[in-house]
Copies of this chain bind each other. A is one copy, B any other.
């Protein structure tokens, strides 16, 4: 951590401040410039609060040099993390460490017929996981809010029929128990900084799919993962799903650079959700291929057998046919990147 003192800070004040810092267990190197004094803190600064320092009367600027996350940091865990979910048919669905994971399914679970039929289609095309919303976060209180617990039950039926592990989004800590039936718990973008929820999920024994908030930086995403990991749950999958920008042709702007950046900074698997990132189904194939080319460990895609009658987000869902064609391309891309799908 580096601290630039204000222009003209008296020497006695610098000394006092250095004393204060050294009492907190760090060593301080003082660089005296012609116009400004700069302090370099040496040692573990993880629990030193930048903002508290920045509020000090004689401090101009505080700059953190080391990343504020530890467990999610590749520096301390150079090996890729592999997330594996055992399937009832004896197979294993995997994401990370060279295994490409594809999660597919409808935005919302609607009926048994719908979810089983989609599950069968996506399994046949090569998906490793089935997704489906039971509880839906909707901008308007007057929109369809999901089937709730019945939705989870229908997902279980689809799992029974196909063997695919299931993944669904929970809305808050009150639902952790009922989500015991799913294989991977999804934290939605709007909950990425619901710290109470993240802490609870740290005590949970399931992989967590953590979606990036629309206004959150990659560092904040890694800090959110750190919240879960600090509780003891190391199985976190990071998901880039678009950030909010001035461009409004697409619903969000997929931050494709986040993939190699997250892979460099962290050992956790990184997947991409092109459906929510763009909000337009015709963009999904191009962005899925781009995600794999950029180094993603998988994708999560909305697939619906009849997008025009979907109860939510139909505009961003592709059909099973389009999904199947896409999977054929992705296999080529995966092979070229030295990954298995």
Contact of A226 among B141, B217, B223 (CB under 8 A): B141
List of B residues within 8 angstroms of A138 by Cβ: 195
A196 contacts partner chain B, Cβ-Cβ < 8 Å: yes
Kindly state the interface size class of chain A when it binds its partner: 35 or more
Copies of this chain, complex-wide, total: 4
B-contacting 9-mer, from A57-65, A94-102, A116-124, A177-185: A57-65
Tell whether, in the assembled complex, residue B249 and residue A245 are in contact, meaning their CB atoms are under 8 Å apart.
no
Residue of B nearest to A46 (CB): B142
Tell whether, in the assembled complex, residue B190 and residue A172 are in contact, meaning their CB atoms are under 8 Å apart.
no
A307 contacts partner chain B, Cβ-Cβ < 8 Å: yes
Tell whether, in the assembled complex, residue B31 and residue A42 are in contact, meaning their CB atoms are under 8 Å apart.
yes
Give chain B nearest CB distance to A125 CB in angstroms: 18
Give chain B nearest CB distance to A201 CB in angstroms: 12
A321 contacts partner chain B, Cβ-Cβ < 8 Å: no
Contact of A254 among B140, B141, B213, B257 (CB under 8 A): B257
Tell whether, in the assembled complex, residue A33 and residue B38 are in contact, meaning their CB atoms are under 8 Å apart.
no
List of B residues within 8 angstroms of A282 by Cβ: 260, 264
A86 contacts partner chain B, Cβ-Cβ < 8 Å: no
List of B residues within 8 angstroms of A61 by Cβ: 65
A20 CA / B109 CA spacing, docked (Å): 23
A36 contacts partner chain B, Cβ-Cβ < 8 Å: yes
Q: Given contacts A250-B257, A294-B286, are A215 and B214 in contact (CB under 8 A)?
A: yes
Contact of A217 among B40, B44, B248, B277 (CB under 8 A): B248
A interface residues, Cβ below 8 angstroms from B: 2, 4, 7, 29, 31-36, 38, 40-44, 46-47, 49, 51-52, 54-57, 60-61, 63, 65-66, 68-69, 75, 137-145, 171-174, 190-191, 193-199, 213-215, 217-220, 223, 226-227, 230, 243-250, 253-261, 264, 277-279, 281-283, 286-287, 289-295, 307-317, 329, 332-333, 336
Known interface pairs A29-B32, A49-B312; 9 further A-B residue pairs with C-beta atoms within 8 A, sorted by A's residue number: A2-B38, A29-B40, A51-B315, A54-B314, A55-B308, A213-B215, A215-B243, A217-B247, A250-B257
